[in-house]
Amino acid sequence: MLQVYKLEKRFGRRVALDGVSFHVERGETLAVMGPSGCGKSTLLRAIHRLIRVDSGEIWLDGDPVMDLEGDKLLRYRRRLGFVFQHQNLIRHLNAIENVMLGPVLAGVSQRSARRLAARALEQVGLLSKAYDAPMSMSGGERQRVGIARALAMEPELILWDEPTAALDSILVDEVLSIMVTLAKQRNTAMIVVTHEMPFALEVADRVLLMERGAVQAVGDPHDVLLGGATELSRKFRRLYEVRYGGKGLLEGRKEPTIPRNVEERLSVPTARRNAAL
């Protein structure tokens, strides 16, 4: 559904995107990984047209989007959801009012927007806190309101910019569990910038690995992160072995399985996990 071709972006002398090309299928989850500063967030902002690139093309369902302006650009953005690291919820609005804001600005009636917002809050397990102020919520709850805000737009594609990076370890799992559920439902395609290797290995359909603004590899998560021949892939494998006890994950296995500690890390119910695998 989404095609990105040779995106180039410079900030002064720094190359942020260096000929980035890839595609995303409808309903697919693509994890984007790489060192800090390699261009991952810039890539998401380019897709959402929050920044202008120097060259390159993007198509959504075959339609070019780089030259869209005005109402056409707004219609394009309404087909996308964006979940940021920091949600910057409006303090004087309660949770459901924050979630309603996007649909209302898109021209949806107050009644329909409230219905969409309530359904989105229910999806993230926060319907009971619909009338709570953001400052009365935990960081994880505020992030879930931000996810609901993206879901209320009923997007075809959700862009996630390291949604767990600003959370402490206790709150990470509650956000990851929502992302896992959304990925398994396959109603919406997702591009997820993340450092969470368990999520990439168990949930993502493919991984796109970036370094210095360029795509180093794209493909099966286990092949790219744990079996790749590049130095960056070897770094990820060493990180996985140290942090998650993944040594020997691929050895002697045609169909790799996920180690128990990764399953526990994501808190995915056994029946659903086995069905997915």
| pLDDT tens-place string over residues 93-109 | 999 999 999 899 888 89
The predicted structure's pLDDT at residue 277: 31
The predicted structure's pLDDT at residue 246: 53
- Give the residue from 16, 26, 4, 6 showing the smallest Cα distance to 158: 26
- Rounded to whole angstroms, the Cα distance separating 97 from 132 reads 10
Ranges for all domains in the chain classified under CATH 3.40.50.300 = 2-79+155-276
The predicted structure's pLDDT at residue 60: 96
- List of the chain residues with pLDDT < 70: 244-277
Assigned token pair, 187: 């109603």
- Rounded to whole angstroms, the Cα distance separating 200 from 203 reads 6
What is the secondary structure of 37-79 as a DSSP string?
Answer: TSSHHHHHHHHTTSS--SEEEEEETTEE-TT--HHHHHHHHHT
CATH 2.130.10.10 fits 2-79+155-276, yes or no: no
| pLDDT tens-place string over residues 105-128 | 888 899 999 999 999 999 999 999
In our burial notation (b when 16+ CB lie closer than 10 A, e otherwise), range 96-116 reads bbbbbbbbbeeebeeeebbeb
Rounded (10°) angle between helices 110-123 and 139-151: 130
Coil/strand/helix, residue 179: helix
- Rounded to whole angstroms, the Cα distance separating 223 from 233 reads 9
Q: What backbone torsions phi and psi does residue 255 show, to the nearest 5 degrees? A: -115, 100
pTM for this prediction: 0.83
| pLDDT tens-place string over residues 172-196 | 888 888 898 888 887 889 999 998 8
Cross-strand partners of 246: none
Asked if 214 and 18 touch (Cβ cutoff 8 Å), the reply is yes
The predicted structure's pLDDT at residue 195: 87
Asked if 211 and 232 touch (Cβ cutoff 8 Å), the reply is yes
Asked if 149 and 94 touch (Cβ cutoff 8 Å), the reply is no
What is the secondary structure of 92-159 as a DSSP string?
Answer: TS-HHHHHHHHHHHTT--HHHHHHHHHHHHHHTT-GGGTTS-GGGS-HHHHHHHHHHHHHTT--SEEE
